[in-house]
Structure 1
């Protein structure tokens, strides 16, 4: 549900030998991340941060790490049993052997529709028989619920496509639904084939937004697609669709093409990925990785500026590593810019572990896929120095539940680092949510909710 401030909607990838012991976190991780309790067990807003805010007590800001760019791997910032759970999403036939949905880029939000809270969940999923969501997947699924703790049901798409897999709201498979004046799948989004990969084309990182009484889906065609980049769909019905492609994406993704991505991407095919939508009042903006934005036209059929998009004013690292998953969230009158960054571990000259949002290099090992956040008084910036808001929760979004409490999503990246270890893969790629905390109007930081001992009087 979108408030005038979008703040929110009720009231958007192996650890070094010897480093693991220095963290002392093994005791707080899965089985540290729990499945959700039954829906009637307790309201989603139990243990709210509101009493602390009302009494003038807020969590303290964590110390600033020097030099700028150092990562904070502290156990307090991890999802744990006491602050997080895995959403009990309705299983599709493909999910039953695993017992939970395989998901990357988990997205969850809460909107008021017809006077009632409606929770939505989506993310990047894979097809049976593939270990990842590539070189192809079969589109975008949506789940809905009246409570964060469920029951979560697949969106009822059976009246739109009788006999098709329930909950699938868009796919390159739907190209036969194109009609004159109504494009569902553009030519650049269709499946294609080559000798190296066979079938190619996948949808990544979807986000679902309810804006001015309509449902919008922002997503990305991934690295194996004809063109790689972000696009937007609009529903002609309810949350279940049917969805069509907006006019501005009939020929290409948003923004300019540039050299990027893996070597197998054809020249001119790579555009900016991980698109997100930010709305405030009756206006909306596109947010692209890792620093671009553009205002949507009033009719929401394209962005106002289609080339040479403006950039957020950020306090960059030096050197600036690869960042992705940009998402803007407004809370307490401030704008928070979220981005996903790899914490790369190495050994410093004194033999101690070093954690930093570095560029790739010899001796630097991908450890955790974190969320880094910066704050600003305005949407465009300038944004403050970034801080580690959560360990292993990268490529996520922040949202507010129907009780006014803050949450973030996570999926625990199985591609590299800590969660790629075979002993942990069963706990990775999950639709997780974690409680957040705000450090108040003086601190102006958001973190994964830490133990209550971190609270101090701060205004």
Structure 2
């Protein structure tokens, strides 16, 4: 998550197909365009769809050839057959290093020979670049692990690096085997953050892990590591166990997934996918203990579906709460198609994994009604480039719906970015860059 006031971190068949040791990182300044907004003309807000909970499917909100592209990330040996990096939950941010912009990219990737990111994958990879267009290079981890795969900054296989007083991989994060799935253990949705002169990775152990939930790593060097686990995750993910997840998850193993980090000034918060957040201790080794985690003040849909990938982004003095929601189709009484953020149900089919957002004057809320910020752009993040342009990431979810169609699935799981527009200090909305607005 980014406080951008302090740092910058279709034609449906023609949709796009497809520096190690960074020290002295400083925040990117707010642009002059943000500081002087009184004379600028801004695009207008679209009227809210009624009833609340309908999904906006207009092609203006799709990542298209004219507003997006796929990052040309350096390929690993496993990527060469596909010709690009297979990535879900794409994350990108921008920092200034010694006066120059440095971009960081990561996401959920898959291991060689595995169709997706489960039942196991082989860790977190990271790329950096001096610009969005590249060259995007894997961070140089060869000085940390000579002979190991370049760019891999953390993995369950690093368990042998544990030492007294320094844990890299906790027992609940290690690989394991069973008769149903074989090898198990997957890490999802990593994010990279720079806070108080230290590099952090926030990620989630996935559904096939001993315990499912969010954790944080801190680097003892640059963005390439070496990373260790924070003390609060030695025994478990953040927070208490909750009910949820697939039936094969053992009782008590499921915690709060899709953890993210929001920082402002000298303070930091963990943001979780199910309407929760927590303040970090001053030493960043754990969250502040509390009986119950506090909740964002949101305006839920009725009924409220399952939401994922919560992310808070500050821009123009406002807080934007970004979440991923499945847009499901059903049939209206007149026979027309209904597109809405409905829970699963009879006659409802998953169509697009959208990004929805709400705005507030404060971090905790109350937040406004949500609106569709990007069609098919769910589980993403916002960031500002070194020139002041707003962007969002996207990946095209291959699991269900539009992008799961056999004619399109080859163009899914991409490290994509799309330009975002702000409707100004009066409108205070963000949208994927629309046409003619």
Q: Same fold (TM over 0.5)?
A: yes
1:138 aligns with 2:122: yes
**Equivalent residues of 1:346, 1:354 under 8 A apart:** yes
Instruction: Provide the residue aligned with 2:306 in structure 1.
Output: 322
**Equivalent residues of 2:37, 2:425 under 8 A apart:** no
Q: Paired residue for 1:162, among 134, 146, 149?
A: 146
The 1-side partners of 2:409 and 2:334 are apart by 33
Matched residue SS, 1:132 = coil
Matched residue SS, 2:214 = strand
Instruction: Provide the residue aligned with 2:175 in structure 1.
Output: 191
Instruction: Provide the residue aligned with 2:108 in structure 1.
Output: 124
Instruction: Provide the residue aligned with 1:393 in structure 2.
Output: 377
After TM superposition, the score normalised by the length of structure 2 is 0.94
Rate the CA distance shift 1:240–1:307 in 2: closer, same or farther, 3 A.
farther
**Equivalent residues of 1:255, 1:306 under 8 A apart:** no
The 1-side partners of 2:7 and 2:412 are apart by 28
* TM-aligned CA deviation for residue 427 of structure 1: 0.9
1:333 aligns with 2:317: yes
* TM-aligned CA deviation for residue 131 of structure 1: 1.1
Instruction: Provide the residue aligned with 1:366 in structure 2.
Output: 350
Matched ranges for 1:47-446 at <5 A: 55-305=39-289, 307-446=291-430
Q: Deviations over 1:378-424 (max 9, x none)?
A: 00000000000000000000000001110000000000000000110
* TM-aligned CA deviation for residue 426 of structure 1: 1.2
* TM-aligned CA deviation for residue 113 of structure 1: 2.6
The 1-side partners of 2:169 and 2:137 are apart by 26
The 2-side partners of 1:58 and 1:34 are apart by 30
The 1-side partners of 2:158 and 2:217 are apart by 13
* TM-aligned CA deviation for residue 9 of structure 1: 2.4
Matched residue SS, 2:60 = helix
The 2-side partners of 1:140 and 1:428 are apart by 19
Rate the CA distance shift 1:82–1:55 in 2: closer, same or farther, 3 A.
farther
**Equivalent residues of 1:249, 1:302 under 8 A apart:** yes
Matched residue SS, 1:57 = coil
Rate the CA distance shift 1:340–1:250 in 2: closer, same or farther, 3 A.
same
**Equivalent residues of 1:339, 1:371 under 8 A apart:** yes
**Equivalent residues of 2:327, 2:340 under 8 A apart:** yes
Q: Deviations over 1:91-141 (max 9, x none)?
A: 000000000100000000001233322100000000121111000000000
Matched residue SS, 1:59 = coil
Matched ranges for 1:6-45 at <5 A: 6-7=4-5, 9-10=7-8, 25=10, 27=11, 29=12, 31-33=14-16
**Equivalent residues of 1:9, 1:399 under 8 A apart:** no
Matched residue SS, 1:346 = strand
* TM-aligned CA deviation for residue 308 of structure 1: 1.5
Unaligned runs of 5+ in 2: 19-31
**Equivalent residues of 1:413, 1:428 under 8 A apart:** yes
The 1-side partners of 2:375 and 2:62 are apart by 5
Instruction: Provide the residue aligned with 1:19 in structure 2.
Output: none
**Equivalent residues of 2:17, 2:411 under 8 A apart:** no
* TM-aligned CA deviation for residue 53 of structure 1: 5.5
Matched residue SS, 1:316 = coil
The total of aligned residue pairs comes to 424
Instruction: Provide the residue aligned with 2:22 in structure 1.
Output: none
Higher relative contact order (CA 8 A, sep 6+): 1
Matched residue SS, 1:58 = coil
The 1-side partners of 2:359 and 2:414 are apart by 28
Instruction: Provide the residue aligned with 1:16 in structure 2.
Output: none
Matched residue SS, 2:426 = helix
Unaligned runs of 5+ in 1: 12-24, 36-47, 455-459
Question: Pairwise CA RMSD of aligned residues?
Answer: 1.8
The 1-side partners of 2:6 and 2:105 are apart by 16
Matched residue SS, 2:211 = coil
**Equivalent residues of 1:178, 1:184 under 8 A apart:** yes
The 2-side partners of 1:384 and 1:89 are apart by 36
The 2-side partners of 1:50 and 1:378 are apart by 19
**Equivalent residues of 1:30, 1:80 under 8 A apart:** no
Rate the CA distance shift 1:62–1:52 in 2: closer, same or farther, 3 A.
farther
Matched residue SS, 2:350 = strand
* TM-aligned CA deviation for residue 153 of structure 1: 0.1
